[in-house]
Chain A
Amino acid sequence: MASHQHDENCKKMFALLSEYLDLELLAETCKEMAAHISGCGPCAAFTESLRKTIDLCRAYQPQELPGPIARDARQKLLEAYQKMLAGRRS
């Protein structure tokens, strides 16, 4: 039943893959997963694709920016800040 065993390991790994990539697993689990991935082609390819998905997210720059802030809106914020400072001093 070697192939079945293989499949179960892949599924177990699959559930923990994000935590593995985020280094949030216990050292022992992490080591087991690294060993499995290095010996399993599909899991290695899948892990790489998930890692690159995360990389793309981190490099993501929103294309759409808010319009310029209106002068009175900025003034309102500045007043709120100054009021907060004044309240703290009193």
Chain B
Amino acid sequence: MERAAEIELARQLLAGDPEAFDRFVDHFRAKIFHYSQTVCGHREDAEEVVQETLLKVFENFDQLRDPEHVRAWVFRIAKNACLMKRRKSVYAPRQELSLDEFLPARGADGDPVKIEIADWSGIPENGVLRSELQHVLEDAIANMPEIYRSVMLLRDVEELSTEETAQVLDLNPDAVKTRLHRARLLARKTLDSYLRARRQPVEGN
């Protein structure tokens, strides 16, 4: 569903039009399920988080001041529902990862021109490689430290703005930017390794 259609549903619900109810529920159930599954990590929790979130959403719908921000508003409620259930992540880093860890490896002689990076130019819009990469990306997001995972999910998958993401996660916008950059670098690194391994000629061919 387009963002505009989602905003329209929120407007209709605010105006008391029950026609929008079922579509709103179905649309956001999928979104909240994915968010809580990625953050909480357990399917059973995710189903509970979905219901608890939507209950809070409807109980407090009149507090949604701006339907334009309905997605961020719902995710903020989902985040709080997740926090109540979240198990401490074993991946949580104590501090931000250093950017140096993401610099591509250089050639043996340190020549920056001989940087080791896969050829990303030929990734098709569809097809086997594209769908393989989607799976690699899914795993990459699932395996990142939680502080990066939630930012990447909100910013790049759900396409919230930096400010909206900051509000959902109780962070300042600079922290969102810092974490997003590291999350993207982590995902990029995993995808790059995959592409390089995939293009290694198979021995004997």
Contacts and interface: CB of A to CB of B under 8 A. Distances in A.
Nearest to B115: A42
A62 B36 CA distance: 12
Provide the main secondary structure of the chain B interface: helix
Given A14-B103, A41-B113, A53-B184, A81 B13 contact: yes
B184 A63 contact: no
A66 B55 contact: no
B180 A18 contact: yes
A27 to B, nearest CB: 18
Contact of A80 (B55, B113, B120, B188): B55
Provide the main secondary structure of the chain A interface: helix
B177 A24 contact: yes
Contacts of A48: 120-121
Given A77-B25, A80-B58, A46 B104 contact: yes
B121 to A, nearest CB: 7
Interface residues of B, number: 53
Contacts, number: 122
A73 B53 CA distance: 12
A84 B192 contact: no
A72 B145 CA distance: 36
Given A6-B112, A18-B181, A66 B30 contact: yes
A54 interface: yes
Contact of B29 (A10, A56, A69, A83): A69
Interface string B52-68: 00110011111000000
Given A45-B117, A80-B55, A62 B30 contact: yes
Nearest to B32: A66
Nearest to B30: A65
A76 B55 contact: yes
**10 nearest A-B residue pairs (beta carbon):** A57-B156, A18-B181, A66-B33, A80-B58, A42-B115, A81-B58, A62-B34, A53-B188, A49-B120, A80-B59
